[in-house]
Amino acid sequence: MSLAAYEALYDSGVAFGIRKALTSERGKMDIIEKLDFLTAENEDLRRQLKLQEARHELLRKEWERRAEAESKHLGDKIDLLERANSQLKERKLRKEYKRKKAAFSLNCD
């Protein structure tokens, strides 16, 4: 091979190396950009997660407060109905007692 052929081969090799280095550098930059994007997205998602966790906690507390209030309300209602039921039973027993007493006194006369 002639000196010109070696020079052309050398120049071609150098050009190839430079192209490879540039391509590699572009790939590296793309990876760095993607890493930056994913890092920012990760931070945003973590922030959203914290907001959702805080919202969930508020909703859970509100639900517990409402459940407790409803439970107390229903407990009070049950107590009221139990008292009313017991008063009605007493009234019924008194009426039955008076009726039996009246029937007994009629039979004794």
- The tens digit of pLDDT for each residue in 21-40 reads 888 888 899 999 999 999 99
Q: What is the pLDDT of residues 68-105, one digit of tens each?
A: 999 999 999 999 999 999 999 999 999 998 888 777 77
pTM of the model: 0.55
**Which residues, including other chains, have CB under 8 Å from residue 9's CB and lie 6 or more apart?**
1
Q: What is the pLDDT of residues 39-64, one digit of tens each?
A: 999 999 999 999 999 999 999 999 99
- Taking the CA atoms of residue 9, residue 11, residue 12 and residue 13 in that order, the dihedral angle to the nearest 10 degrees is 90
Own/partner pairs for 78-82, CB < 8 Å, 24+ apart?
A: none
